[in-house]
Structure 1
């Protein structure tokens, strides 16, 4: 089953969800701001995305700029910051089996699904 880490207030996330709905494939919506991923879930997600923690951070978010930008942080510290502040997690993330993609580009989504 396809899963989408979704923020209903984000236009890119809404567009991605609409794209998934059009495929008529079974999917699950994960509202990650309401139910943030655990540290283990975030680590598994990064593995599926083949990304480093910093690659998944929304670095233009106010909370990142004011509190974490230009700080020396380990990957585990970055993960903990994302778990504590899920608004910092890039969106939307779409999971299909053991692979995942940041679903901002609908053309890439078509190939992915």
Structure 2
């Protein structure tokens, strides 16, 4: 199975996650979700795999969340899915799918939990934070 990342190149967390996948030796299938959003069925399958509700996966920052009134607790899962389909920017990302599982990679190092080769060595995020991957001690 190939690694798939639902990616937004304008998002630093998504760029860091993609770079970690590549540093692990994988070349993932990159789905730019704003260009090619997941279908409703695909999104529902991702939610099931993530064990999340649509509300859990909603992104507020930089989206029309407030303008659409999505904070209203009376909204159904179906209504939230409709909003995500109409405005894919509402889907919190990056989401990574591997044979080991599916993760919302916030923070980006959550991707290490599902990579075949999580020992990527020290990795420096765009903000300068250094991630020491699983299997490596702090001395490197």
Give the TM-score of the pair, scaled to structure 1: 0.91
Structure 2, unpaired ranges of 5+: 116-140
The answer for the alignment partner of 1:96 in structure 2 is 98
Alpha-carbon displacement from aligned partner over 1:40-65 (angstroms, at most 9, x marks no partner): 11100101111011000002344001
Residues 1:85 and 1:98: Cα distance change in structure 2 (over 3 Å): farther
- Distance in 2 between the 1:8 and 1:106 partners? 14
Residues 1:29 and 1:88: Cα distance change in structure 2 (over 3 Å): same
Question: What is the number of equivalent residue pairs in this alignment?
Answer: 113
* Higher RCO structure (Cα 8 Å, ≥6 apart): 1
The answer for the alignment partner of 2:68 in structure 1 is 67
Give the TM-score of the pair, scaled to structure 2: 0.74
Structure 1, unpaired ranges of 5+: none
Aligned pair 1:108/2:110, yes or no?
yes
- Distance in 1 between the 2:100 and 2:19 partners? 22
The answer for the alignment partner of 1:13 in structure 2 is 14
The answer for the alignment partner of 1:79 in structure 2 is 81
Structure label with greater radius of gyration: 2
Residues 1:27 and 1:75: Cα distance change in structure 2 (over 3 Å): same
C-alpha RMSD of the superposition? 1.5
